[in-house]
């Protein structure tokens, strides 16, 4: 006996840029949206009967149409509106989830003043959210960030690790520490000022990264997660991934020069990869 197991479908990489115009200046939001639906789609898979299928092109149009009248200022609030809209119109759908990644735009500074309507692309950091709700269920909101590239040039060491026949890495008490941070945090409920909490979580982690006397990436990762949980009571866990983007000390001795920890070659591959989840005790 063969049957259809769990399945879902939707529309990915729907690019949306919204300009909100005020008298004092404009606001720009660029979001990449993914919509995924779960439901009773057996007939479509087994029999080719599409009567229960909402076309993915319709999902794309829904993203734009809903954004036109939305007053949401956060990704989370807009994602909740979109989920509610899709569930309300599609009773055959058991649950809907929306994922959004935000591209950073910063105001141009002209003659020392922020320009009201001119912007420049920020870093490659992307802010993210994942919002899901079942019919008659509660929202589940997980937000985060990815590719936040950060570097510290002091207070980072790596010593005391296992040495065996294949170990060539020398110990160091003074190294460069560079990573591209990814973090996802789980909210305790679904009705918050998400942008304010995001700012607090992000600043807590960056403050810890900058000030922490690091004995390893693992130790700093845990300290950053701990600081986020301490700063924001509205989250109950946070998952962090911190690839170790190595900066290798260049040997200048063959040129008759010393290198007092000043000249490095940055490398992307291969790199160490560290991830962990930090949570409140039950």
Is 73 marked active-site?
no
Among 11, 60, 130, 186, the active-site one is 11
Among 130, 186, 212, 246, the active-site one is 246
Is 11 marked active-site?
yes
Length of the chain: 282
- Minimal CA–CA distance to 96: which of 79, 112, 110? 79
Contacts for 260 with CB less than 8 Å, ≥ 6 apart: none
Is 56 marked active-site?
yes
Place of tokens 């734009």: 64
Quickly count: other Cβ atoms within 10 Å of residue 168's Cβ. Answer: 5
**The two three-digit tokens of residue 67, written as one number:** 């954004």
Among 26, 32, 38, 56, the active-site one is 56
Q: Is the peptide bond before 104 cis (omega within 30 degrees of 0)?
A: no
Catalytic residues: 11, 56, 246
């Amino acid at each position: 006996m063969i049957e259809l197991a769990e399945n879902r479908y939707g529309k990915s990489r729907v690019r949306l840029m919204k300009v909100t115009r005020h008298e004092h200046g404009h606001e720009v939001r660029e979001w990449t949206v993914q919509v995924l639906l779960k439901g009773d789609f057996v007939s479509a898979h087994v029999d080719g009967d599409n009567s229960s299928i909402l076309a993915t092109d319709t999902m794309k149009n829904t993203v734009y149409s809903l954004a036109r009248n939305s007053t949401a200022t956060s990704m989370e609030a807009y994602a909740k509106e979109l989920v509610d809209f899709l569930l309300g119109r599609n009773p055959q759908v058991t649950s809907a989830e929306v994922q959004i990644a935000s591209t950073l735009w910063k105001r141009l500074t002209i003659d020392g003043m922020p320009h009201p309507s001119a912007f420049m692309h920020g870093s490659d950091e992307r802010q993210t959210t994942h919002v899901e709700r079942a019919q008659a269920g509660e929202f589940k909101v997980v937000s985060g960030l990815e590719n936040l590239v950060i570097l510290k040039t002091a207070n980072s060491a790596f010593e005391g690790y296992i040495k065996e026949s294949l170990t060539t890495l020398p110990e160091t008490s003074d190294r460069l520490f560079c990573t591209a941070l990814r973090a996802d945090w789980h909210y305790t409920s679904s009705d918050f000022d998400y942008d304010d909490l995001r700012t607090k979580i992000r600043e807590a982690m960056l403050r810890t990264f900058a000030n922490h006397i690091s004995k390893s990436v693992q130790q700093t990762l845990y300290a950053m997660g701990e600081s986020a949980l301490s700063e924001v009571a509205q989250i109950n866990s946070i998952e962090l991934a911190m690839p170790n983007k190595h900066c290798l000390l260049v040997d200048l001795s063959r040129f008759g020069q010393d290198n007092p920890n000043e000249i490095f070659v940055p490398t992307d591959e291969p790199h160490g990869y560290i991830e962990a989840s930090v949570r409140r005790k039950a």
